[in-house]
Amino acid sequence: MNHQDQKQEDQLSIRRKSFMNNWNKRKLIIPIAISALLWSPVSVSHHAAAAADHSEPPHYKRALPSAAILIDAGHGGVDGGTVFGDTLEKHINLAVAQKLYLLLRSQGINAVLNRTGDYALSDDNRWHQTSSRHRRDLSQRRQLTDEIDIALFVSLHVNWAKNAVKHGPLVLHQDNGKSALLATCIQDALNQFQKTSELPRLGKPYYLLKTVKQPAVIVEMGFLSHAGDRQMLTNRVSQTRLATSIANGLRQYMMLVGSLD
């Protein structure tokens, strides 16, 4: 090992020790077949069957026996997200989320999707008494992090700007070290793929980043308002490369902290 390699190894060791505090190791288990979770009409959210007058979320057994990465496919159903012509953000989010899910599961990493089709999670929420569909959607996404044994929360989205020159990925994180490290690992991997040099940012105003208890990030995969990003976001091959980059970032994070839970 040369001097440079030793220096890099020492840096990794220092970072690993810093983020290992109170971080218990757990063996990952894959209890659900990939095809069953992706294509079955039964998803991890069962609140649609709950009575309409519930004032608080129902409680039931955890769906997975070991800590998982929850992949949050942003928007869905009546909520199309960012739009450019006939291109809707919700479809891009789901496509990349499904590819990321399959990649992680094929590598022995426990993962789960909170949306497996084109529907709004607010439709599953019968416990949050509010007239705002958007608030029901967000609270349902957060509630799933309590109902499932979650180690990490990764929310996939697409960005938009009035300035059509703006482009590239951006990862937003919580105000804590583990989330910041997770964001850095994913941002670095996406920068390498998209040949950008963006830094992750603190996402204070965002509901999910404020309320999810586990390390969480919001991944803005690119700008639908930018022609080059738009072509990348809507191309199946590029979507796979996006998912691969995010998976690489997740694996880097796991290497640094030692395990998922």
CA–CA dist 214, 208 (Å, integer):
10
Indicate if the pLDDT at residue 16 is higher than 70. no
Tens of pLDDT, residues 111-128: 999 889 887 665 554 544
Domain range holding 179?
Answer: 66-257
Task: Work out the pLDDT band at 145, boundaries 50, 70, 90.
Answer: confident
In a domain? residue 224: yes
In a domain? residue 55: no
Task: Work out the pLDDT band at 132, boundaries 50, 70, 90.
Answer: low
In a domain? residue 5: no
In a domain? residue 2: no
Helix 236-257 crosses helix 177-194 at what angle (to 10 degrees)? Answer: 140
Helix 236-257 crosses helix 89-106 at what angle (to 10 degrees)? Answer: 50
In a domain? residue 50: no
Domain count, the chain: 1
Report yes or no: 90 and 75 within 8 Å, Cβ to Cβ: yes
In a domain? residue 15: no
Q: How far is CA 228 from CA 24, 33, 164, 167, 223, in A?
A: 42, 36, 10, 8, 9
In a domain? residue 14: no
CA–CA dist 41, 190 (Å, integer):
32
CATH code for the domain of 74: 3.40.630.40
Tens of pLDDT, residues 24-44: 332 232 233 333 333 332 333
Tens of pLDDT, residues 84-95: 999 999 999 999
In a domain? residue 123: yes
| Residue-averaged pLDDT of the chain | 76
